[in-house]
Amino acid sequence: GFFLMMAACGGSNTSGGNTSSTSSSLAGNWTGTWRSNSGQGGTVTMAMTQNGNALSGTASMTSSTCLENAKLDGTISGDDVMSDVTSGDTKATVHMTVTAPGQIDGTYDAVSAGICSGDTGIVDVTR
């Protein structure tokens, strides 16, 4: 009985946290920096719209030969943001966390990106 009660408590705490976090929309324009593990980097701009937990918009990474003008498609759960960024045949996954109001930090992984395939790095943006 005790274990079930603990699990029920944990479940309700988690969903409570998710509800309050997502009430602040991520819609808007974000700017920041990206840096590849190879040492390359530049600025990143994102324009996002949010509908419930669904995110969409555009992303542009300067100095990137693979994701200069890309489409962003993702979801937010609590402070956790997962999105796919695609530009033509190029696809990268981005996993970010809302670290403070108006700030998102995370990592990217170029899954299927031609000459950029296998590239990973960090992305930090603010609004």
pLDDT along the chain (127 residues), means of 10: 44 38 77 94 95 95 84 96 92 94 94 84 96
What pLDDT is attached to residue 24? Answer: 67
End-to-end CA distance of the chain: 46
Task: Categorise residue 97: left if φ over 0, alpha if ψ from -120 to 50, beta otherwise.
Answer: beta
Q: Tell me, what amino acid is at 33? A: T
What pLDDT is attached to residue 114? Answer: 79
Tokens of 80: 């956790």
What pLDDT is attached to residue 118? Answer: 87
Q: Tell me, what amino acid is at 112? A: S
Q: Are 75 and 57 in contact (CB under 8 A)?
A: no
Tokens of 109: 């992984």
